[in-house]
């Protein structure tokens, strides 16, 4: 079971943002999408989530065209954390997380909803401000609240065994060091529990530390995909990101990228 895009292309404003990209998120794996600014990372996530229809190519979820899924059924199978979540009204943090339970209203129970909301807020450290107006939260606190909403949406397995997918667009943005690692550790835990996770990341070391696979995009094209230690080479990083670096094995069995400061400053 997987969520996949095959030969997808997206153009806007006379520019090809994605150029025949094929990518797949398998159930039970954590995949990171990396690449420089303007590479098409967020666009690929929007295509996979169904928020953006490609002009060319196909997108499938659990063996069925993404566009053929009923919206309510789709919402039970995939949850999305956008780059900059917005709220049009004043909500308590608890109420925002509770929105993630809306797709389950017909088949769920209030006890199941409360369990999911509590669990998601505990996992993201947002329970201490559950009763606060979201307008009073810091950017990082609000981001974690929306992350809890996405987790609550996928909290329990589906009764028919269909795979669930968690799509995260720059989930570590606006977070301090502790919460960057906490949010990705939870995402990896979700993957280990059987869901497919896709995260757009800018930090190569975070991608290497937490992802099973990485997808590298450059100028809208698929540059490389595979295990972090095979994809994150000095030569590829120099070509795609235009920086000099040293890539060394890490204690966790993957790699660590150390950029040469002088080369970065010169660029």
Q: What would the mean pLDDT of 241-260 be, rounded to a whole number?
A: 91
Q: What would the mean pLDDT of 163-172 be, rounded to a whole number?
A: 96
Which pLDDT score is estimated for 264?
45
Q: Give the CA distances from residue 143 to residues 86, 158, 189, in Å, rounded to whole numbers and listed in that order.
A: 10, 26, 19
Overall pTM > 0.75: yes
The per-residue pLDDT for range 176-195, each reduced to its tens digit, is 999 999 999 999 999 999 99
Under 8 Å between Cβ of 12 and 42 = no
The per-residue pLDDT for range 44-101, each reduced to its tens digit, is 999 999 999 999 999 999 989 999 999 999 999 999 999 887 776 789 999 999 999 9
Which pLDDT score is estimated for 143?
94
What burial class does residue 202 get, using C-beta atoms within 10 Å of its C-beta: 0-12 exposed, 13-18 middle, 19+ buried? Answer: middle
Q: How far apart are CA 72 and CA 183, in angstroms?
A: 26
Q: Give the CA distances from residue 39 to residues 157, 201, 216, 227, in Å, rounded to whole numbers and listed in that order.
A: 33, 12, 9, 20
Which of these, 100, 206, 77, 201, lies nearest to 148 by C-alpha position?
100
Which pLDDT score is estimated for 262?
64
Round the average pLDDT of the chain to a whole number and report it: 93
All structural domains of the chain: 2-266 (3.40.50.300)
Q: What would the mean pLDDT of 21-32 be, rounded to a whole number?
A: 97
Which of these, 84, 107, 203, 216, lies nearest to 160 by C-alpha position?
107
Which pLDDT score is estimated for 56?
96
Which pLDDT score is estimated for 265?
46
Contacts of 239 (CB under 8 A, 6+ apart): none
Of 64-73, 120-129, 255-264, the least confident = 255-264
């Amino acid at each position: 079971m997987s969520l996949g895009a095959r030969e997808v292309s997206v153009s806007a404003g006379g520019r090809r943002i994605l150029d025949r990209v094929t990518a797949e998120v398998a159930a039970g794996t954590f995949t990171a999408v990396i690449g420089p600014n303007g590479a098409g990372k967020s666009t690929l996530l929007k295509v996979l989530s169904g928020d953006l229809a490609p002009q060319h190519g196909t997108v499938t979820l659990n063996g069925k065209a993404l566009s053929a899924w009923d919206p309510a059924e789709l919402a039970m199978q995939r949850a999305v954390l956008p780059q900059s979540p917005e709220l049009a009204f004043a909500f308590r943090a608890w109420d925002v997380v509770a929105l993630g339970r809306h797709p389950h209203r017909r088949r769920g129970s209030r006890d199941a909803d409360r369990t999911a909301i509590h669990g998601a807020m505990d996992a993201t450290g947002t329970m201490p401000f559950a009763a606060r107006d979201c307008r009073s939260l810091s950017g990082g606190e609000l981001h974690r609240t929306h992350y809890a909403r996405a987790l609550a949406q996928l909290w329990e397995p589906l009764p028919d065994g269909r795979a669930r997918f968690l799509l995260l667009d720059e989930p570590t943005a606006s977070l301090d060091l502790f919460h960057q690692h906490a949010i990705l550790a939870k995402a990896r835990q979700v993957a280990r529990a059987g869901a497919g996770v896709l995260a757009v990341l800018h930090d190569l070391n975070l991608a290497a530390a937490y992802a099973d696979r990485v997808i590298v995009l450059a100028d809208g094209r698929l540059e490389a995909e595979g295990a972090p230690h095979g994809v994150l080479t000095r030569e590829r990083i120099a070509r795609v990101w235009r920086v000099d670096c040293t890539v060394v094995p890490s204690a966790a069995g993957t790699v660590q990228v150390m950029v040469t400061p002088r080369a970065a400053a010169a660029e």
